[in-house]
Structure 1
Amino acid sequence: DAPTVLDALPAELTERFEREGWLLTRSYNDEIGASVAEAFGTEDRAAVESYCHANGITFEWQTDGGLRTRQRRSAVVRHPATGRRCWFNQIAFLNEWTMAAEVREYLVDVYGADGLPFNTRFGNGDPIGEDVVQLLNNVYESHTAREPWQAGDLMLVDNVRTAHSREPFEGPREVLVALADPVRLADCSPTVEVTSE
């Protein structure tokens, strides 16, 4: 529950994220992580650049044909129906400290700290420490509700109010997903402006 997670985090931390937002950096190449074509659905540089400009994503083409992007987003938004403040981001999930230590070390050795497939930072570009990521993950864990799936189940999730994921499983499964009632970020009172630099 995003409002509950927000309330459980230290005020000093959430206030900083509200002021600065968070920064997502991505590196796309044909070696590790998503390629440009997989991520954007095209290899057409003009189409990729157009998408980035339209969505407040800065980009830099690499000499090897890869792409690096940066996007600054709000970490806290208001629910469009209730107005409640919600912790709405992927700061911990996409952070380097969420990777297994040996994977992170290998990727940094091979690609450099700026070449990781993904990473998050404070909105001003400062690194987010391992302690902050651990704190975020601990708060998520302590407020997680688990629902074992049964054949034929239907689950509706409010994507702004509820952080959601799945845990490891074994055996076959088929999950169908549909999105309804799209919400624009602008309708959620973001605390930072989304612009291309």
Structure 2
Amino acid sequence: MLPTHIGGRDILQSRKALIAALDKHNGILLVRDSPVTDASTMKETLSNEEDPLISSMSYTGGSNNRTALVDGVLDAGTEPHYLHIPEHSEMAYLDRFPSLISFACVLPATVSGGSTTVVESAAVEGRLPAPMRAKLRTLGIEHVMYYGSEGVKTWQLAFSTSRPQDVEEYARVRGWALRWTPKKTGVYLSYRRASFLQHPRTRGIVLSQTDLSGSFYGPRGQHRGWAPFASMEFHRQPYSFRWGDGSEWTEEEKDSWGRAKEASLRRVEWQKGDLLLLDNLVAMHGRLPFEGDRKMAVMLGDPYERVQPDRGGWRGGMWVDSLKPSTVL
């Protein structure tokens, strides 16, 4: 069962109360009968001037196309309705990503489906084979992004600029490798990062990753799914990944990640006025297929910086060379 606060206005009265509830419930909290019914009331409730519950952040560098419904609130669930969006921590493939995320139900699926799935990252880690856990700790992940006219999102939209030199500078200061396609219509970015991070409140070391099943765009190697990306070679998709040493994930490793998530999934069966709050550092979310109309709003907030040069990456047996530029593209 999900931790549910019926009419949880006490939880929404202060940031202190919200954070305490999230920490108590392992980063997953569903507020029923909230005052949030659309993008405007979401912003009003979560970003009130006296005591903002979430410090909103932009979607810079994100891999999907999202429209701002109002300032600080984006549309959500825009991927094809027939897909099961695999569970992931939002934007955890980037160096700067939200530590808090909130979803509001504006309109549940009018025909069927559309549940949001949630899973605790610790549960996923615990179900992975021991060799995979060891590789995650020692090798980290190399993330490979493609932004271009053939992808989901152009680099101009991803980085809010029309100047290639701005993207080059963005990559340079982060130690990312960069390669332009001919005429700079698209760009590949690659960077190696630790799989684990230190939680800013609990100080515990936690697994925080995007989906590593290799099936975000649909079943691997098949035409079923998000066309045309599902049928592309994996390394040509808008987002792909390798181990931090440049070696490829095996199909069994990708399947192991998917099975570990599926074994611990819980569902949010949406009702209008529901507000789902997640600690994005310790919980993952996904979405099941749906039919009919469905409208969701999302607010990203409290950005976390994965790479912190003054500390040189995380120590204690973790893969620590998080500032080393990638050389594999």
Name the CA distance, whole Å, in 1 between partners of 2:230 and 2:208. Answer: 28
Check conservation: 2:177, 2:191, Cα contact below 8 A. Answer: yes
Output the aligned Cα RMSD. 2.6
Higher Rg of the two aligned structures: 2
Check conservation: 1:91, 1:120, Cα contact below 8 A. Answer: no
Name the CA distance, whole Å, in 2 between partners of 1:9 and 1:106. Answer: 27
Aligned counterpart in structure 1 of residue 169 of structure 2, from 50, 67, 80: 50
Greater per-residue helix proportion: 1
Within-5 A mapping of 1:153-168:
153-168=274-289
Name the CA distance, whole Å, in 2 between partners of 1:52 and 1:73. Answer: 14
CA shift for structure 1 position 164: 1.0
CA shift for structure 1 position 40: 1.9
Closer, same or farther in 2 for the Cα pair 1:150/1:28, shift >3 Å?
same
Q: Secondary structure at the match of 2:256?
A: helix
| Partner residue in 2 for 1:195 | 323
| Partner residue in 2 for 1:29 | 148
Within-5 A mapping of 1:72-151:
72-93=192-213, 99-103=219-223, 106-108=231-233, 114-151=235-272
Q: Secondary structure at the match of 1:157?
A: strand
Name the CA distance, whole Å, in 2 between partners of 1:192 and 1:140. Answer: 26
Residue deviations 1:150-183, cap 9 Å, x none?
A: 1100111000010112211222232222233333
**Mean CA deviation greater in 14-23 or 34-43:** 34-43
| Partner residue in 2 for 1:67 | 187
Normalised to the residue count of structure 2, the TM-score between the two structures is: 0.53
Normalised to the residue count of structure 1, the TM-score between the two structures is: 0.84
Q: How many residues align?
A: 193
Instruction: Give the % identical residues.
Output: 25
CA shift for structure 1 position 98: 5.8
- In structure 1, list runs of 5 or more residues that go unmatched: none
Name the CA distance, whole Å, in 2 between partners of 1:57 and 1:156. Answer: 31
Q: Secondary structure at the match of 2:272?
A: coil
Q: Secondary structure at the match of 1:183?
A: strand
Name the CA distance, whole Å, in 2 between partners of 1:98 and 1:72. Answer: 25
- In structure 2, list runs of 5 or more residues that go unmatched: 1-119, 224-228
Q: Secondary structure at the match of 2:291?
A: coil
CA shift for structure 1 position 115: 3.4
